[in-house]
Structure 1
Amino acid sequence: MSTEDFAEDVIAVLDALGIDSADVYGTSMGGRTAQWLAINHPDRVRRLILGCTSPGGPHAVERDAAVRRALAQPDREAAERALLELMYSPEWLASHDGPRTVLGDPDMPVHARRHHLAASNGHNAWDRLDEIGSATLVLHGADDRMTPASNAELLAQRIPNAEAHVLPGLRHAYFHENRPVASKLVGDFLAH
């Protein structure tokens, strides 16, 4: 499976629901999938929002080795703590006990997690990003170490009609930690 394959799955869902076109908001791996959706099916994407994602491939700014090690550790509890610290600021974690649905499905089998990671790591839309014709909003937390924030500018520079907003003090789950600001940006973008 690849992020391009996942975009085809989105098309199958839209077709099954009888939806000709939609505003698309994808974060992280969903943002990688949304890139392919807008590239391969431009008539199906009215407006595109890409959050905490990257173009992939050699042009992307990748997470550092310490982040990779923290996420790959065999102790599931320690890996989850590391993931939470990548998602949220220390201040937010100290004042919010949960729920934290951004961590994904806790019952996802190991093989599915491996395929998810392989698809995400294999993403590379750089050479075709300039084909995206939809107005595009790129959002990112400035302190995101999971997918470094410099990827937001790369995407905004490569995609025609794109604008980027990097939100200070926020990490990978910017949309959850500061929902009022992120939602306003999205709402304003969709209203135009």
Structure 2
Amino acid sequence: MTTFPRTGHAVAADGTRLAYQWHGTDRPLVLLAGQANDHTWWNRTRGDFPSTITMDYRGTGDSDAPDVAYSTTGFAADVIAVLDDLGVDEADVYGTSMGGRVAQWVAARYPERVRRLVLGCTSPGGTHGIERTNEVRLALAQRHSSEAREALEDMMYTPAWRAANPGPYTVLGAHGMPPHAVRGHLVASNGHDAWDALPRITAPTLVLHGDDDVLAPPGNAPLLAGRIPGARVRVFNGARHAYFDECRPESSAVVMEFLG
């Protein structure tokens, strides 16, 4: 049964304060958002699950924004700091986009903390991953211009869905991020490379993707599944990067069935 959220701040090893939100009372599902986004990424979908933990990455939302190097491994350590603060020894983890990159490290480096893993619209990174084009990178780097945001909307959702659901959308970037944090998130996502670590993931894993995704090309889904022992893949036809939003409730039902 969903309850009012429990909110607070965990403290990372370097003293950074990390905001979190826990809705519900059952075994939690940790939901990890995309690059340069905070917990509002999940506003439309978190209610599909009985108990969720979300967080604001460092540099976003109500978390601190230290001017230091950011990385997906560092974000994974921040996730563990939040779980430690909440007294959660084991959780299910669902990461999308950069959150899927972070989730790979959570599962590979802290296997005892992850019961089941869902990786959505993401990539193993590095030389083995199928990366976005330079045009897409430019749109992400210049996300505050109206043209770039319109292009990002088009990468997230199909035109037909946007026409029926005019927004506002909560997956286009967190408000109020300082420029150094925006750059830090971009560098962290671009620098991700978990290829060698993926075979160490022991949690049962489900890989989800839209087949019209240019932000994280869909060819990454079989790459991930091929590296993670026993992983399964589900592809949503015609969906773009925000499949988890546009393909509701089907995609949430797939996740719930997998989590059992």
Q: TM-score band, normalised by the shorter chain?
A: over 0.9
CA separation in 2, counterparts of 1:6 and 1:72?
20
Structure 1 residue aligned with 2:145: 76
Deviation, structure 1 residue 102: 1.0
Going by fraction, where is helix more abundant, 1 or 2? 1
Deviation, structure 1 residue 123: 0.3
Deviation, structure 1 residue 72: 3.7
Matched, 1:164 2:233: yes
1:58 partner SS: coil
Given the alignment, which residue of 121, 125, 130 partners 2:199?
A: 130
- Aligned residue type for 2:134: A
Structure 2 residue aligned with 1:62: 131
Stretch deviating more after TM superposition (91-100 or 180-189)? 91-100
Given the alignment, which residue of 116, 132, 150 partners 2:185?
A: 116
Structure 2 residue aligned with 1:148: 217
State TM-score, norm by structure 1: 0.96
CA separation in 2, counterparts of 1:75 and 1:38?
33
Structure 1 residue aligned with 2:95: 26
Matched, 1:42 2:111: yes
CA separation in 1, counterparts of 2:114 and 2:252?
19
For structure 1, the residue ranges without an aligned partner over 5 or more in a row are: none
Q: Judge conservation of contact 2:141–2:186 (CA < 8 Å) in 1.
A: no
Matched, 1:16 2:85: yes
Structure 1 residue aligned with 2:47: none
2:213 partner SS: coil
Deviation, structure 1 residue 66: 2.6
Residue deviations 1:116-174, cap 9 Å, x none?
A: 00000000000110000000000011000000011011001110020011110000000
Matched, 1:93 2:146: no
State TM-score, norm by structure 2: 0.71
Structure 2 residue aligned with 1:107: 176
- Aligned residue type for 2:206: L
CA separation in 2, counterparts of 1:189 and 1:29?
21
Structure 1 residues 168 and 80: alpha-carbon distance in aligned structure 2, compared to 1, 3 A threshold: same
Bigger relative contact order (CA 8 A; separation at least 6): 1
Q: Judge conservation of contact 2:111–2:203 (CA < 8 Å) in 1.
A: yes
Q: CA RMSD in A?
A: 1.2
CA separation in 2, counterparts of 1:69 and 1:9?
28
Structure 1 residues 97 and 74: alpha-carbon distance in aligned structure 2, compared to 1, 3 A threshold: closer
Structure 1 residues 75 and 113: alpha-carbon distance in aligned structure 2, compared to 1, 3 A threshold: closer
1:59 partner SS: coil
- Aligned residue type for 2:234: H
Aligned length: 191
Residue deviations 1:71-122, cap 9 Å, x none?
A: 3448611111111011001111122111211112122122111000000000
Q: Judge conservation of contact 2:91–2:113 (CA < 8 Å) in 1.
A: yes
Stretch deviating more after TM superposition (55-64 or 98-107)? 98-107
Structure 1 residue aligned with 2:253: 184
Stretch deviating more after TM superposition (96-105 or 77-86)? 96-105
Structure 1 residues 74 and 61: alpha-carbon distance in aligned structure 2, compared to 1, 3 A threshold: closer
CA separation in 2, counterparts of 1:87 and 1:43?
33
